[in-house]
Each structure stands twice: as structure tokens, then as C-alpha cells.
Structure 1
Amino acid sequence: MACGLVLVDVQNDYFPGGSMELAGMEEAARNAAEVLASFRRTAAPAFHIRHVATRPGSTFFLPGTAGADIAEIVVPLKGEPVLEKHFPNSFRETTLADLLRENDVEEIVFCGAMTHMCIDTTVRAAFDLGFRCVVVGDACATRNLRFGDVLVEAAQVQAAFLAALASPFARVISTTELLRERA
């Protein structure tokens, strides 16, 4: 069974100074870079997802801006596919499922952002498509959310969404655990 890595939206706008700064994005990206390096060492397939905003009124990932670029820490190497998406679900209107199947990928490891949006949506879609899913929780990042008068801190958003994905959609593990398994 082939295992592939999908890096979702590790883009400049999510980092400090970006248009949609996330809590813990720098640490998540460092962990994602470690995961990516482990896949590269074994020549396992890695796929980069890049969100480009097309909806009117969008405030981040705007076409042609540096904020929409993939962060340097995980910049794709020649031959690593980069898929452009316009929706939270990385499978919607992209060739991701086809590329995964062409590479005989049955298990997908996910890293990236935002945990509560694109990671959640993409992992659930992958599960529905029959893939086994692994989410590297500390290689993902999110932000504070507001629901009415309630502010939900990023750490709570992260924990709630990872807990929801942990059964039955994915196995949620740490970078350390993944690297130990891949050693």
C-alpha cells in the first residue's frame, strides 16, 4: 500500500504579517517540513495544494500576491505536483483524486491549514473516496473563531476539530509519532 503526503495551503498569508495569520502556523509549518523531508528521503509521493481565492470580497490568497505563494519552508521541488484549488475541499474541481490513484496511494498523510476548514473538509472527502487518512495534528494550524458572542480560542478549535476527525475519518498523530513510524 502506497502512502502519500498532501500539504494543504501552507501559504504565506497564514504566517505572521500575512492577511489571515493563524495561531501556531510557524510551528505547524516546521513540523510539516519535517514530514515532507521524510517523504522525500524515501521518494514517497508528495502533493502540494495551493488555494487561490476567486470569490468576490476575498481578503487573502489573492491571485498574483506573495500571500498566495506556498511558504518557502515547504516549497515544492521539481516533479512534486502543485494543485490549485478554489474551495476548502482539495478534491473539489481538482485532479487530486486522480493523481493519488495514479501513484497507487491508498493512505494519505495530511498537514497544513486551516484545521477547522480545509483540513477538515479535505480529510472527510478523502475518507468518503475510500482513502485511509492520517492527520499530523501538530503540523496543522487554525485560528480563533467567533460564534455569536462566544470567542473560541484557536487551541480549542484545534482540539475540537482533531477530536472530531479522529473517529472515524482519520488517525490523528504527532510529527514525532509519524517520523518514528516512517523510520
Structure 2
Amino acid sequence: MSKQALILVDIQNDYFPTGKWPLEGVEAAADNAVRVLQACRRAGNLVVHIRHEAEADDAPFFVAGSVGAQLHEKVLNQGDEVVVVKHFINAFRETGLKALLDQQGVEELVIAGSMSHMCIDGITRAAVDYGYPTRVIHDACATRDLQFKGVTVPAVQVHAAFMAALEFGYAQVLSTADYLAAC
């Protein structure tokens, strides 16, 4: 069996209902991420938490040092679980993530978190470009409605479109139940 790492992306306070940038279905997604996290901890898999921090003090969310930028209490890192701080959509960009995965001999990735249309998409595509077989746990990811030229695209459609695109050419896209059944 390949050495696997779970990457939990941006499950941070600002994405929850009392935060600055709440996502649709974030509570259910976080609950599923917790189930995957618990299974990966039991299996002894490497767990990496990604935390986005804005570099500008006037950013709309994830302001460095704010409560909103902190990991949500449901998924706090434990023991030797690393927290990688990033400043870009792609968690590999200008971070030590790739070096950490290589140092630990990781051969495949499991990804969950937020936002489906941004950081989940970015890390998944980059991971596959680096040669990692990658699984995305779709119901452990969340997003929000988007606007395009006066049209509101509901979060459920944004999420579905991005998961469909990732599944088409980048990753295996699974539900939490299907991932756990295969563990």
C-alpha cells in the first residue's frame, strides 16, 4: 500500500457561519472532514493542515493573527501534525508542503476542505502535476454562491462543476462513506 497523506485545506473560522466569509454546507463538510481525519489518524497516515493567511491587513477574510484565520476547532492539529501556512490559492506555492511530503515518502494524497472552486481545485491540480495520485472527498469540501456577469451561480452548482472537472482529468472524487469503506 502506498504511503498516504491527508491534506485538510483551509478549514478555518472565517468560513463558518459567524465568520467573515461563510460557505454553504460548511458544517456538514467539516463534520465529514473530521470523520476522514479520524480514520487517517487511526491508520497512521501523515496529516497536514493548510491554513491560509492574507498578507494585507484589509483583506476580506483570513487576516493574519485574527480568530477568523485560525483552524476551526473541529479539525485542530494534534501531536506532530504540521500546519502549513500559505498566502496563495495553491498550497504548494512558496510553502514547504512539497518538501514535507517528499521527506515523509508520501506517494498519494487525500484532500478535503475549502473552497471547492479555489484552493481545493488549486491544490488538487498542482498535486497531480507533481505526480501524486490524488483523491478528493467531495462531501468534505464546501464553497459558496458565485457571481458572473449578473448571474448568480448557486454553491451546489459551483461545487458540482468543480468536482466534475477534477474527476474528469485530475483526481478520484469520492464521498466520505466511499473513502471510509475502502480504508
Bucket of the pairwise TM-score, normalised by the shorter protein: over 0.9
User: Which position in structure 2 is the counterpart of 1:74?
Assistant: 75
Q: After superposition, what is the alpha-carbon deviation per residue over 1:156-177, rounded to whole angstroms, capped at 9, x for unaligned?
A: 0000000000022100000000
* RMSD, aligned α-carbons: 0.8
C-alpha contact 2:56 2:63 (8 A) present in aligned 1: no
| Matches of 2:142 and 2:24, distance apart in 1 | 6
TM-score by length of 1: 0.98
Q: Does 1:181 align with 2:182?
A: yes
User: Which position in structure 1 is the counterpart of 2:31?
Assistant: 30
Could you say what secondary structure the match of 1:151 adopts? strand
Q: Does 1:109 align with 2:110?
A: yes
Could you say what secondary structure the match of 2:152 adopts? strand
Could you say what secondary structure the match of 1:46 adopts? strand
How far apart are residue 55 of structure 1 and its match?
3.6
Q: After superposition, what is the alpha-carbon deviation per residue over 1:42-78, rounded to whole angstroms, capped at 9, x for unaligned?
A: 1110000000001464110001111000001010002
C-alpha contact 2:57 2:63 (8 A) present in aligned 1: no
The alignment of Structure 1 onto Structure 2 pairs a total of residues equal to 182
Task: Report the residue type matching 2:127 in the other structure.
Answer: A
TM-score by length of 2: 0.98
Q: After superposition, what is the alpha-carbon deviation per residue over 1:127-159, rounded to whole angstroms, capped at 9, x for unaligned?
A: 111111100000000000000111000000000
Of residues 97-106 and 31-40 in structure 1, the stretch that sits farther from structure 2 once superposed is 97-106
Of residues 154-163 and 46-55 in structure 1, the stretch that sits farther from structure 2 once superposed is 46-55
| Matches of 2:108 and 2:146, distance apart in 1 | 30
Identity of aligned residues (%): 48
Query: Superposed, which structure 2 residues align to 1:152-171 within 5 Å?
Result: 152-171=153-172
Could you say what secondary structure the match of 1:62 adopts? coil
Q: After superposition, what is the alpha-carbon deviation per residue over 1:92-138, rounded to whole angstroms, capped at 9, x for unaligned?
A: 00011111111111110000000000000110000111111100000
Could you say what secondary structure the match of 1:105 adopts? coil
Runs of at least 5 residues in structure 1 that lack an aligned partner in the other structure? none
Q: Which 4+ runs in 1 deviate beyond 6 A? A: none
Runs of at least 5 residues in structure 2 that lack an aligned partner in the other structure? none
Query: Superposed, which structure 2 residues align to 1:8-157 within 5 Å?
Result: 8-55=9-56, 57-157=58-158
| Matches of 1:63 and 1:141, distance apart in 2 | 22
